Amino acid sequence: MTAIVNVSLKNGVLDSQGKAVHHALDSLHFEGIKDVRVGKQIVLKLDTDDHDKARADVTKMCEDLLANTVIEDYDIELIK
């Protein structure tokens, strides 16, 4: 099973990188962009097929290490 973890800054926490990318896209004349957020993606290959166990394990990994929950949110996608 593969777990895809997306980590991004919480809403309300200024995302300077997102702003810089937004600005760059504007200066390239791409139109219609309302907001840009830059995050990171962590892909984990797991040796289990147990969905619940995988979700519980990866949630613990996010809380302990993969995200800093003071400033970041995470979401977990599991793929068989």
Residues contributing to the site for another protein (CB under 8 A):
9, 13-14, 16-17, 20, 65-66, 68, 70-71
Write down the least CB distance from residue 70 to another protein, Å: 4
Write down the least CB distance from residue 49 to another protein, Å: 27
Beta bridge partners of residue 9, listed in sequence order: 72
Write down the least CB distance from residue 73 to another protein, Å: 13
Question: CA-to-CA distance for 38 and 19, rounded, in angstroms?
Answer: 9
